[in-house]
Amino acid sequence: MGGKIMANELALLQRDITDVVLDKVTELEEQGVQLPTNYNVANALKQAFFKINEVQLSQKEGGGLYMEKYGHTPVGKASVANSLLDMIQQGLNPGKNQCYFIAYGQKLQMSRSYFGTQTALKRLSDIEEVKAEVIHQGDVFEIGAVENETVVTKFVPSFENLDNPIVGAFATITKSDGTKVYTIMTKKQIDQSWSKAKVQKVQQEFPEEMAKRTVINRAAKPFINTSDDADLFSDAFNRTTAGDYDYSQHEASKKAQTITERFKTMKQAEAVQEEKNAETTETKQLKRSG
């Protein structure tokens, strides 16, 4: 087993991955995929590598830094590149706390924050605004129906209730024509969704943000799956959402297959030694973004 990957090897590795990602971005743009206006790809990649280089492996994986153990492997490099492409296609920047990176064994995965889900959804041409609220025990919350569609008719949160148990959450998506679409989840429904999560400790430490993210992800489904916008954006959005859970994911896209094939032909860095005494994964990433 080789030693820790050296700084110059890490820099070379990042350059190789960046080159592959940028080549793929250029290819996608030539196919008609449009990135968000004013989205700085180079800056987003720079911020992403700052975060990726800090990703810790779980104790089950032996601890240590992900990039030092798996970053140089074909599987590791492909997963990093795919995570970065999903980030770019959704117009996210980890420097703005819109996404973070988590190691699941040998693979790295990009996960959206609540803010990132808001940002990505607002890329859709028919969505003007997205927001979510958490309902605590004691808050005034009433619903009704307009033309057989559920609407929130009254919501009065209270400062005194902020430490009370969460009883539900709701998302409001304002369309470009001004109409509002509501999605409501009870705490039982939220818990059921969380029970399928790959990492559950984070829900206990950041329940409000995670409840908001959960209800927004549910609210997003009909818009994402019926959107006229680029299919690759929808694929990236759905892949990121599905990746947080244990149930089977969709078949890998041609994009992912192409990237994996490209990395098989790249020069490999030396094997790296596993570090010890690591912290957790997603919890640490959220603490850094907080």
Structure tokens at 26: 């250029």
The greatest distance separating any two alpha carbons of the chain, rounded to the nearest whole angstrom, comes to: 66
Which residues have a Cβ under 8 Å from the Cβ of 225 and sit 6 or more positions away?
234, 238
Can you read off the two tokens belonging to residue 180? 């509002």
Cα separation of 52 and 117, whole Å?
20
180-186 and 107-112 strand pairing: unpaired
For residue 15, report the phi and psi dihedrals to the nearest 5 degrees: -65, -45
Three-state secondary structure call for residue 131: strand
DSSP, collapsed to helix, strand or coil, labels residue 210 as helix
Q: What is the pLDDT of residue 269?
A: 32
Q: Which two tokens stand for residue 48?
A: 């992403």
Local structure of 228: helix, strand or coil: coil
Helix axes 207-225, 231-243, angle to 10 degrees: 150
Per-residue pLDDT of the chain (290 residues), as tens digits, is: 344 566 788 888 999 999 999 999 999 888 877 787 789 999 999 999 999 999 999 888 888 999 989 998 999 999 999 999 999 989 999 999 999 999 988 999 999 988 999 988 888 888 999 999 999 999 999 999 999 999 999 999 999 999 999 999 999 999 999 999 999 999 999 998 887 766 556 676 788 988 998 999 899 888 887 766 556 677 888 888 876 654 343 334 444 444 444 444 433 333 333 333 334 444 544 554 44
pLDDT at 243: 61
Q: Which structure tokens are listed for 212?
A: 């908001």
The helix/strand/coil state of 173 is: strand
Q: Which residues pair with 143 in a beta bridge?
A: 152
**Which of 80-104 are b and which e, b meaning 16 or more Cβ less than 10 Å from the residue's Cβ?**
bbbbbbbbbbbbbbbeebbbbbbbb
Please report the pLDDT score of residue 202 as a whole number: 66
Residues in CB range of 146: below 8 A, 6 or more apart: none
